[in-house]
A and B are shown apart, each in its own frame.
Chain A
Amino acid sequence: MLLHAKSARFTVWAFLAVALLLLVGAPLLVTFMAAFAGSWNGVLPSNPTLAHVGGALAADNLSSLIVSLQTALFASLLAVLLGTWAALCAASSPADSAVSKVSDAVFHLPAAVPSVVVGLGLLTAFSKPPLLLNGTVAIVILAQTLLVLAFAYSTVSAAARGSDPLIPLAAASLGASRLRVLLTIRLPLLLPSIVAATGLAVALCMGELGATVMVYPASWRTLPVTIFTLTDRGALFDAAANTLVLIAVTVAVLAVIAKFRGKTAVR
């Protein structure tokens, strides 16, 4: 017990409550209230309406949401696949080997570079032959994949480094082929971290703006870009409603992803 005096403890709690309310509570609460507000000129919003949320679930905004979901899922799966692949390679070699060092350096790198630069790079490199990707869906997916690859890699490789190296060796000594060891021993052991990496990647992709806003074609507009357009126009209540929908859908997807981890833990 650090603080014995009751008054001191209450002071700390009061400060903590204010800090958390301002950091976590206020943004969520304000967005929530604005999403259902017809107008907001007093302390509390007035003329409650479902029009903004209805608008967020109709026509253009709904298609933005679907575009976001598809992009996030594709990009996350690709990033987790590549990240897990690289993490397995790195973990199979000794930690001080060149393979591990190179893969650690290379796969962490994209997270150190600003998302805007990742977008600019894709735009500069693939607006001309040999590979024309500018204006396609692929360039958006690639941008988001690169941005979450480092997180996927570091999550899985931390787990791979921490796991017991003797278990796959025991399986191999009993005659299991390399492929069988990979599919029935190493990957199942890493599944919790792979699921965690997928969840993190989806959450980051759903809210990604910096690289997407650089590369997106008009036909493939993600929800964060739509929300930015609304905010820029001053339609703050519509932006709030769309943000609320984005958060709700992200949380729902994360809950579904977490279910996979739950099942494996029981097994």
Chain B
Amino acid sequence: MSAAVLEKPALEPAPTVRGAGNWRAWLWLGVPLLFVAVFFLYPLLQIGAQSFLDKSGAPVGLDNWRYELASPAVQAAMGTTVKIAGMSTLGALVLGTFIALALSFVPFRGAGFITRLIETVVSFPSFLIPLAFSILYGRTGVVNSVMESVAPGLPPLNFVNDVPGVVLAEIAFYTPFVVRPLLAVFSQVPRELIDVAGSLGSSPWAIVRTVILPAAVPALTAAAGLTFLLTMNEFGIILFTGAKNVMTLPMLIYTRSIVTFDFPSAAVIACLQVALSLGVYCLYRWITKKLSGAHHAAAR
């Protein structure tokens, strides 16, 4: 903690003269800003414009919006999106906290290797997990064919193409995103503190609850916010599980635009999704800023 506080310079004079340096800084920033404006912000505005046009490009006012907001498919998709993101985030938080605690505080030989392995897994494609799920537990998968030969009477296992399969795959993929920041925080917790608490008679569970976890609250909150945002936007994993009845907003946008070419409908749903995602993102930024500020103040 002290290093982070020390890093903040004690109000150094700015190296450039404000007035002269300002327009120059803006000019330099202009090149990458222009790229984002042309290829990201302008397309988003175009989606917004498309949501007020019909398929032939004629303006229809609020008709698309009225129709989509009243449609049960869109309402259900919003619910499904938040539900799946919530369950996946909760699962990843619980599992990730356990893995990080075990790796940090119940050390064993090879813990370093495991940590590196977890860091490598993050760079693997997300569809690796649903693919493996389909091979193992799919309708014609390994587990089902083994079960059929052992106990022919049992009904086949069929959770991969449904909500549980998607949630399990997302938990598996996003848990490393929780483990990594927690490992960084846990390495800062002084070991003497834990030894003292233990010698005073605190049970391991009490030490975790009163000493370790409070130090990890900002990191946990940040990880939860990020995971919720990413799982809400997740598309590849759901597409790969082939779950026809897991219709989240990204899946609905894909289906409406690429499969049925209904771009006005896709545009309205995309606007809803962007509003939802940006809302969560702003909340995440605000909370992490607030928590890290409070934490720095407490450390001082």
On A, residues with C-beta under 8 Å from B are 1-4, 8-9, 12-13, 15-16, 19-20, 22-24, 26-28, 30-31, 34, 40-43, 82-83, 85-86, 89-90, 92-94, 97, 99, 102-103, 106-107, 109-110, 112-118, 120-126, 142, 145-146, 149, 162, 165, 169, 199-200, 203-204, 206-207, 209-210, 213-214, 224, 227-228, 231-232, 234, 236-237, 239-240, 243, 246-247, 250-251, 254
Extra contacts, 5 of them, besides A3-B105, A116-B270 (Cβ < 8 A), are A27-B133, A90-B29, A114-B232, A114-B253, A243-B125
User: Which of B105, B254, B280, B281 lies in contact with A214, CB distance below 8 A?
Assistant: B254
Chain A residues, Cβ within 8 Å of B146: 41-43
How far does the Cβ of B161 sit from chain A's closest Cβ, in whole Å?
12
- The secondary structure that dominates the A interface is helix
Q: Are B142 and A40 in contact (CB under 8 A)?
A: yes
Q: Are A2 and B106 in contact (CB under 8 A)?
A: yes
> A1–B232 Cα gap in the complex (Å)?
38
User: Which of A16, A165, A246 lies in contact with B103, CB distance below 8 A?
Assistant: A16
| Residue B90 at the chain A interface, CB threshold 8 Å | no
> A21–B133 Cα gap in the complex (Å)?
14
> A15–B102 Cα gap in the complex (Å)?
9
Q: Are A103 and B29 in contact (CB under 8 A)?
A: yes
Q: Are B15 and A165 in contact (CB under 8 A)?
A: yes
Q: Are B277 and A146 in contact (CB under 8 A)?
A: no
> A198–B135 Cα gap in the complex (Å)?
33
> A12–B254 Cα gap in the complex (Å)?
43
Q: Are A2 and B235 in contact (CB under 8 A)?
A: no
How far does the Cβ of B231 sit from chain A's closest Cβ, in whole Å?
11
User: Which of B7, B29, B175 lies in contact with A23, CB distance below 8 A?
Assistant: B175
Q: Are A82 and B35 in contact (CB under 8 A)?
A: yes
How far does the Cβ of A42 sit from chain B's closest Cβ, in whole Å?
6
Q: Which of B101-133 contact A (CB under 8 A)?
A: 102-103, 105-106, 108, 114, 117-118, 120-121, 123-129, 131-133
Going nearest first, the 4 A-B pairs with the smallest beta carbon separation are A207-B125, A121-B43, A203-B123, A114-B233
Q: Are A117 and B270 in contact (CB under 8 A)?
A: yes
Max chain A C-beta neighbours (<10 A), residue from B26, B40, B118, B120: B40
Chain B residues, Cβ within 8 Å of A126: 43
Given A24-B118, A112-B281, A236-B134, also A228-B239 (CB < 8 A):
yes
Given A30-B136, A213-B258, also A2-B194 (CB < 8 A):
yes
Using CB atoms, name the residue of chain A closest to B106: A12
Q: Are A116 and B15 in contact (CB under 8 A)?
A: no
Chain A residues, Cβ within 8 Å of B121: 23-24
Given A27-B129, A27-B172, A207-B126, also A116-B253 (CB < 8 A):
yes
How far does the Cβ of B219 sit from chain A's closest Cβ, in whole Å?
16
Q: Are A86 and B242 in contact (CB under 8 A)?
A: no
User: Which of A28, A31, A43, A116 lies in contact with B235, CB distance below 8 A?
Assistant: A116
A-B CB contact pairs (8 Å), 18 listed: A2-B105, A4-B198, A23-B175, A40-B142, A89-B28, A107-B32, A113-B233, A114-B250, A115-B233, A120-B270, A121-B43, A122-B39, A142-B39, A145-B39, A214-B258, A231-B127, A237-B135, A254-B123
User: Which of B32, B131, B194 lies in contact with A82, CB distance below 8 A?
Assistant: B32
User: Which of A90, A227, A247 lies in contact with B124, CB distance below 8 A?
Assistant: A247
Q: Are B278 and A113 in contact (CB under 8 A)?
A: yes
Q: Are A125 and B42 in contact (CB under 8 A)?
A: yes
Chain B residues, Cβ within 8 Å of A85: 28, 31-32
Using CB atoms, name the residue of chain A closest to B279: A112
Q: Are B40 and A118 in contact (CB under 8 A)?
A: yes
Q: Which of B1-47 contact A (CB under 8 A)?
A: 7, 9, 12, 14-16, 21-22, 25-26, 28-29, 31-33, 35-36, 39-40, 42-44, 46-47
User: Which of A3, A121, A207, A209 lies in contact with B204, CB distance below 8 A?
Assistant: A3
Given A2-B194, A90-B29, A124-B47, also A19-B135 (CB < 8 A):
no
How far does the Cβ of B34 sit from chain A's closest Cβ, in whole Å?
10
How far does the Cβ of A218 sit from chain B's closest Cβ, in whole Å?
13
Given A243-B127, A254-B123, also A209-B32 (CB < 8 A):
no
> A149–B38 Cα gap in the complex (Å)?
14
Using CB atoms, name the residue of chain B closest to A85: B32
| Residue B95 at the chain A interface, CB threshold 8 Å | yes
Given A115-B235, A213-B258, also A16-B124 (CB < 8 A):
no
Q: Are B123 and A200 in contact (CB under 8 A)?
A: yes
| Residue B240 at the chain A interface, CB threshold 8 Å | yes
Chain A residues, Cβ within 8 Å of B28: 85, 89
| Residue B195 at the chain A interface, CB threshold 8 Å | yes
Q: Are B50 and A103 in contact (CB under 8 A)?
A: no
